[in-house]
Amino acid sequence: MSNSSIDLQLLNAFASLLLLLSFAMLSQRRIVTMVKLLAMQGMLLGLATLLLAVRTGQNHLYISAALTLSLKALFMPWVLHRLIKRLGVYWDSEPLLNITVTMLAGLLIVIFSFGLAQPIAEFANTATRSAIGIAVAVVLLAFLTMITRGKAMSQVVGFLSMENGLFFGAMSASYGMPMIIELGVALDVLVAMLVLGVFFFQIREQFDSLDLHHLEKLREEK
pLDDT of residue 218: 44
Q: What is the mean pLDDT of each run of 10 residues along the chain (222 residues)?
A: 68 89 88 91 90 82 86 87 79 72 91 84 66 88 86 81 85 64 60 62 55 49 48
Residues 6 or more apart whose CB falls under 8 angstroms from that of 103 comprise 23, 26, 27
CB 108 within 8 Å of CB 170: no
Paired strand residues for 151: 211
- Taking the alpha carbons of 159, 162, 168, 170 in that order, is the dihedral positive or negative? negative
C-alpha distances out from residue 59 to 55, 64, 136, 175, Å = 11, 9, 26, 11
CA atoms within 13 A on the CB side of 16: 6
The domain in which residue 127 lies consists of 3-221
pLDDT value for 140? 93
- Is residue 124 classed as helix, strand or coil in its secondary structure? coil
At 18 the pLDDT is 92
pLDDT tens string 56-113: 777 888 888 888 888 888 888 888 888 888 777 777 766 667 888 888 999 999 999 8
Looking at the structure of the chain, the number of domains it has is 1
- Which helix (H) or strand (E) is 35 found in, with range? helix 31-56
Using alpha carbons, select from 104, 138, 132, 103 the residue that is nearest to residue 116: 132
**How far, in Å, are 26, 105, 129, 134, 139 from residue 110 at the CA level?**
13, 9, 16, 8, 10
DSSP-derived secondary structure letter, 29 = -
Q: Which residues contact 114 (CB under 8 A, 6 or more apart)?
A: 133, 136, 137
Model pTM? 0.79
Q: What is the pLDDT at residue 220?
A: 47
